[in-house]
Amino acid sequence: MKVKICGITNIDDALLCINEGADALGLIFAPESPRCIDLHKAGRIVSMIPRHIIKIGVFVNKEASAVNEISNDVGLDAVQLHGDESSAYTGQINKPVIKAFRVNDIFDFSILESYKECSFLLDSYSAHSNGGSGIPFNWEIIPKDIRQKIILAGGISQYNLEAIYKNIRPAAIDLSSSLESSPGIKDYKKVKDFFKVLRKIKDE
């Protein structure tokens, strides 16, 4: 189970997460997000991150040509789409695509079948934002045949990590707000404690 830490806005937070064991970092390019980062700063952070760490850009309903341009300029490895992007849209993206879906109790999982050659991230539905709510959805409704293929997001923290690892076992988990002291700023102790719990669970 890989770990992606999203909402990175500075190099100190990036290196903290990497040193503790993060496999991927997320940089948000959605202006409506309090964790949005400008292109110059994002490029500097990416240039200082080891190559084996996956750098993912998060976009919401942005022109495909702009997404491709930003991805190339910043040096991203993959693109995460958190808006209403269609399956046709994802085919226009030059980098590997992670398509995010906001899930509630009536979510139709058959929608995923129309998206080809994408990885899927399942996040909590919110009427007020496209992600980063910090609230979990009912993970038990995820079909068992896709659980180990998806990236799980939404209210993940050290306190529900064991249940996720034992009952869902997704390919990866995506965290942001639960590791922050304020939006866009990671909390040193929370990051340390989270990875300490994760290592303990994996060693059991």
Active site residues: 6, 123
- How far is residue 30's CA from residue 81's CA, in Å, rounded to a whole number? 10
The pair phi, psi for residue 192, each rounded to 5°, is -60, -45
- How far is residue 192's CA from residue 163's CA, in Å, rounded to a whole number? 19
Residues 6+ apart with CB under 8 A from 33: 7, 58, 60, 131, 132
- How far is residue 144's CA from residue 181's CA, in Å, rounded to a whole number? 34
Residues 6+ apart with CB under 8 A from 102: 123, 124, 125, 126, 130, 131
The single-letter code of the amino acid at 184 is G
